[in-house]
Structures are given as structure tokens and as C-alpha cells.
Amino acid sequence: MIAFNELHAAIYEKLVEVAKSRTVTFYSDIAPLAGLDMIDPDHRTQISSILGRISTYEHQLGHPMLSAVVLLKEKNSTGEGFFSLA
């Protein structure tokens, strides 16, 4: 089981805010909250891992996958990791 303290707090809080506002955000907008960018392949892997842990945590609580509010700008859809996890 994933514990709350294992989540990236700033990204988690941002996703909750976005979900409550019933809008979406983009990977490129949340990556800097973890000191990452979407240009570096290693950073993309790290942000995917962070989002995966958040969605797994929410699923454990019986909630929807919170990372559903995060989209790729160029595709206007969630990333492959989201679909794999779902």
C-alpha cells in the first residue's frame, strides 16, 4: 500500500485543486512543481512515476484516478502511463 507521506505533496495538492475546479492541467505545468521538465526523458519517467503513485493511492481509498486531470498538451489526452495503470 502507498502511504500519503510517499506522495509528492505539491503535485498532489495541485491535482486536487484542478479536480475540484473541474478543469484540466498539463504535464508541462505540473512537472516544475517537482523540479522537472518534460524535455528530459528521465524527467518524463519521474513525473509518470509520481502521477502513478498518486493515482494508486487514490484508488486504494476507492477514489477515481486523480491523474486523469493531467493531459499532454500536444495530444490533449492523458499519457500512456495513465491507460496502463487504469
45: Cα separation from own chain's centroid: 12
- What is the number of structural domains in the chain? 1
Whether residue 29 is predicted with pLDDT greater than 90 in this model: the reply is yes
The whole-number average pLDDT for the span 30-57 is: 94
**pLDDT tier at 71 (50, 70, 90 boundaries)?**
very high
Whether residue 62 is predicted with pLDDT greater than 80 in this model: the reply is yes
Range of the domain at 16: 4-85
**pLDDT tier at 70 (50, 70, 90 boundaries)?**
very high
The answer to whether residues 67 and 78 touch, using CB atoms and an 8 Å cutoff, is yes
User: What number of other Cβ atoms are within 10 A of residue 35's Cβ?
Assistant: 9
Q: Is the pTM of this model over 0.85?
A: yes
**pLDDT tier at 44 (50, 70, 90 boundaries)?**
very high
